[in-house]
Amino acid sequence: MSDLHTVNKSPFEKNSLESCLRLSKAGSAILLYEDGVYGALKGTAVENMIASVVADKKVYVLGPDYKARGLDESRIIDGVEVVDYAGFVDLVEANDKVQAWV
């Protein structure tokens, strides 16, 4: 079992995603939501942050937040999975606990 880490900050504004990735163990689940969804995009200056961890951490993005911000799913980094709120709930249930990188 492992933890679910939630990140709700844009990686262009705050270092929450960076700290979360540095201080979470291999096997962790990471959910990007609210402005955190911008970290899931291909072709950005921070793309490599997520792309380099998808092999040993499972990264998710909250679809409703992503859609609200006018982003198309084709721009999501390979290996990142889209979930809805029910999926968010399932992730909380499936992991030992939640670490919020607010």
Least Cα distance to 66 among 94, 21, 33 occurs for 33
Least CB distance from residue 8 to other proteins, whole Å? 7
Are 7 and 91 a contacting pair, CB within 8 Å? no
Structure tokens at 30: 């990471």
By CB under 8 A, the residues from 62 to 81 that bind other proteins are 64-65
**Binding map of other proteins across residues 16-55, x = CB under 8 A, - = no contact:** x--x--xxxx-------xxx--------------------
Query: Count of alpha carbons within 13 Å of 35, Cβ hemisphere only?
Result: 10
List interacting residues with other proteins (CB under 8 A): 2-3, 6, 8, 15-16, 19, 22-25, 33-35, 64-65, 84-86, 88-90, 92-93, 96-102
